[in-house]
Chain A
Amino acid sequence: MSTKTPTRPPQSNLARRKRAERVFYALCLAATFTAVLLLVLLLYGVIRDGIGRLNWEFLQSFPSRFAHRAGIKAALYGTLWVISLTGLIAVPIGVAAAIYLEEYAQKNRLNAFIQMNIANLAGVPSVVYALLGLALFVRFFGFGRSVIAGALTMSLLILPTVIIATQEALRAVPSSLREASFGLGATRWQTIRLQVLPAAFGGIMTGIILSLSRAIGETAPLITIGALTFVTFVPRGPMDSFTALPIQIFNWASRPQQAFHEVAAAAILVLLAVLLVMNSIAIFLRQRQRRRLS
C-alpha cells in the first residue's frame, strides 16, 4: 500500500548528457582541425617555395654562392653520418642501460636515484648538452669540430629518451612470458634474449627511431659544437668536419635573397621526407608487433 513516488524519467538526464557529449566532441574536433590546418598551411608554404628546386641535381650539389647552383649534398651526407654514428653509440648503451634498470637492478636507493635522474635528463634543453659536448668532446678529448664530436653530443642528448622508451617497452612485456621461460629453467639472460627482447622489439625500435628523428632536427647542439655552415665536401670519416641539414637550412633561410629561401624550402622538404620515412618505419614496426602479440 505504499504510494510510489514517481521517479524522474531518465530521459531528461539523458538528453543533458547527450548535449554535453556533443559539445565535447565538437571541441575535440575543433582542436584537431586547428592543428591539422596549421600543419597544412606550413606544408603548403614550404612545398610552394621548395618544390621547384627539388631534383636530383639539388641532392648531388654542394652549396654555392649562387642560389641556382646550391645543393645539399654536404648537409645530407653530414646528417646521415652524424645520425648513423649517434645510433651506433646511443642504441647499444641505451638499450643495455634499460635492460639493467628494468630486468636486473634491485629496488634500492641508488637505482631509484639513477632512475629519477634519467627522467630529469630527458627534460634538459639541448643547448645544455651542446655545451657539455663542446667542453668534453671538442676540447677535452680533442675531437675538434668533427662528425664524432657531433655524434657523441647527440648521443648524450637522446640517451635518456632511448633508455626510457626501452624501459617502457620492456615493462609492457607480460610477466607471464617471463614466468613461462623461467619456469622451464631458463637463465635470466636466456629469458631476456629469447623472450623479452623479441617481444619488446617493436616498442624499442619505435623509441629509437623517434629519438633519432628528434636528433636529426636538432640544430643547437651542432651549431654550439661548431659544425660548419659552408662545406663543399662530404665527410670521409668520423674525424672530418661536417655540416648538417638543419644548419644548412638555417644558413640559407637567414640570407636576404628570395632565391635562397627557395633553396631552404627545398632542403626542408628533404628533411621532412627523411623524418617521414623514419616515422613510417616506426609505425610499421609497432603495427607488426601488435599483430604478433595478439
Chain B
Amino acid sequence: MIKLENMEFNGQQQAQTKTMAAAAVPTPDVAVRSQKREETVRAEAKDVNFFYGDFQALKNINIHVFDRRITALIGPSGCGKSTFLRTLNRMNDLIEGARVEGSITIDGQDVNAPGVDAADLRKRVGMVFQRPNPFPMSIFDNIAYGPRIHGEKNKKALGEIVERSLRQAALWDEVKDVQKRSALALSGGQQQRLCIARVLAVEPEVVLMDEPASALDPNSTYRIEELMTELKNDYTIVLVTHNMQQAARVSDYTGFFLRGEMKEFGATDKIFTTPEQKETEDYIRGRFG
C-alpha cells in the first residue's frame, strides 16, 4: 500500500477516455482499494459471457483495464484467461462457433459493435502470443510488416519505425547489424522480443500478452519483465501469466480467474497480501491450480 500511495500518476488523458477515481468504479466484483489513485479506464468488460459452441468458457466477467498500467490475469489452466484476453481484440472471431455476450469497450467504444472493423481494432489492441511466432522473413521485414499493411511505404519512415520498435523492445543492440537475416535464426528469447517489437511498430494503445515468457529461460524472462515495466510508460498492458512472482513483480492490478469466472480483481499488492476470497489465497499460496 505504501508503495502505491507514493507512486506518481500523471494526469494525461485522451479526450475520449473517461476519468474516474478507481474506488468509484461501479462494478460489484471490482474492489480497487487505493483511494489516492486517479485512474483512466482504457478497456472495460461488462457482464461478458463467452461460448465455444455449447461450452461456456467465460461467465459474467467484469473488469476494468486502466490506462498505462499492467493488469495481470492469473488462474489455473483452462480457466479462461486466454479466452478473455482474445475477446479484447476479437481474436476469437477466427474460431468457428465462438460467441460472445455482454459489452467490451475500448476507450468507451464497443468492440463488437456492427461498425467496428476487427482488423482496425487489432491495430489498436496488439497481441503477443505465448509462443514466439515470427514470420519466416527477415528481422526488418517482420517489424515493418505491421506498418506496411497499414499503408506505410516510405523506406526511411519504415527504417525509423523498425529502429524505434527494436530499441523499445531492447533488441536493437543485438540485431542492428543483422536486420536482413531471417528472424527464425534468433534465439527464443530474442524471437519473443522481436514479436513484442513487431506489435509496438503499429503503435497500439493496448498490448495483450498471453504468457509471453512461459517458453523462455529465466534470463530472457527477466528481460521481458523489465521491458514490460518500461513499456508501461506508454502502453496499457494486459498480461496473462502462470508465474505468481511475475504477476506480483510487474503488475499493478490483478484479476483471478477460476472456472470461467473472475473471482477477484484488485490492486496487485492487495491481492497478493490480503485477498478477500479463500480461493484466491489458496491459488496464490500454491495450494491448488
Q: Is B76 in contact with chain A by the CB < 8 A criterion? A: no
Query: Chain A residues with Cβ under 8 A from B124's Cβ?
Result: 185
Q: How far is the CA of A11 from the CA of B129 in the complex (A)?
A: 48
One of A174, A180, A184, A187 near B202 (C-beta < 8 A): A184
Q: Are B129 and A185 interface neighbours, CB within 8 A?
A: no
Query: Chain A residues with Cβ under 8 A from B134's Cβ?
Result: 180
Q: Are A183 and B135 interface neighbours, CB within 8 A?
A: no
Q: How far is the CA of A194 from the CA of B135 in the complex (A)?
A: 10
Q: How far is the CA of A119 from the CA of B184 in the complex (A)?
A: 36
- Assuming the A-B contacts A190-B149, A194-B149, A195-B135, are A183 and B127 also in contact, with contact meaning beta carbons closer than 8 angstroms in the complex? yes
Q: How far is the CA of A181 from the CA of B133 in the complex (A)?
A: 10
Binding site for A on B (CB under 8 A): 89, 91, 94, 96-97, 118-124, 126-127, 129, 131, 133-136, 145-146, 149-150, 184, 195, 198-199, 202
Q: Are B136 and A184 interface neighbours, CB within 8 A?
A: no
Q: Are A183 and B145 interface neighbours, CB within 8 A?
A: no
Q: Is A245 in contact with chain B by the CB < 8 A criterion? A: no
One of A107, A180, A185, A294 near B123 (C-beta < 8 A): A185
Q: Are B136 and A185 interface neighbours, CB within 8 A?
A: no
Query: Chain A residues with Cβ under 8 A from B133's Cβ?
Result: 174, 176-177, 179-180
Tell me the A95-127 residues at the B interface (CB within 8 Å): 106-107
Report 25 cross-chain contacts, Cβ distance below 8 Å, ordered by A residue: A174-B133, A176-B133, A179-B127, A179-B129, A180-B129, A180-B133, A180-B134, A180-B198, A182-B119, A182-B122, A183-B199, A184-B146, A184-B149, A184-B198, A184-B199, A184-B202, A185-B119, A185-B149, A186-B145, A187-B119, A190-B149, A194-B145, A198-B136, A293-B136, A294-B184
Further pairs besides A179-B129, A183-B126: 14, Cβ < 8 Å: A177-B135, A179-B91, A179-B127, A180-B134, A181-B145, A182-B91, A182-B119, A183-B91, A183-B122, A184-B199, A185-B120, A185-B121, A185-B150, A186-B119
Query: Chain A residues with Cβ under 8 A from B184's Cβ?
Result: 294
Q: How far is the CA of A181 from the CA of B126 in the complex (A)?
A: 11
Give the nearest-CB partner of A185 in chain B.
B123
The count of chain A contact residues (Cβ–Cβ below 8 Å) is 23
Q: How far is the CA of A181 from the CA of B97 in the complex (A)?
A: 21
One of B96, B131, B195, B202 near A185 (C-beta < 8 A): B202
One of A183, A186, A198, A292 near B129 (C-beta < 8 A): A183
Query: Chain A residues with Cβ under 8 A from B136's Cβ?
Result: 177, 198-199, 292-293
Q: Are B129 and A176 interface neighbours, CB within 8 A?
A: yes
Instruction: Flag A146-183 by CB within 8 Å of B: 1 or 0 each.
Output: 00000000000000000000000000001011111111
One of A177, A180, A186, A293 near B195 (C-beta < 8 A): A180
Q: How far is the CA of A181 from the CA of B89 in the complex (A)?
A: 13
Q: How far is the CA of A237 from the CA of B280 in the complex (A)?
A: 78
Q: Please give the distance in Å from B184's CB to the nearest CB on chain A.
A: 8
Tell me the A178-210 residues at the B interface (CB within 8 Å): 178-187, 190, 194-195, 198-199
Query: Chain A residues with Cβ under 8 A from B122's Cβ?
Result: 182-185
Query: Chain A residues with Cβ under 8 A from B89's Cβ?
Result: 183
Q: Please give the distance in Å from A143's CB to the nearest CB on chain B.
A: 42
Q: Please give the distance in Å from A187's CB to the nearest CB on chain B.
A: 5
Query: Chain A residues with Cβ under 8 A from B94's Cβ?
Result: 178-179, 182
Give the nearest-CB partner of A191 in chain B.
B149
Tell me the A254-294 residues at the B interface (CB within 8 Å): 292-294
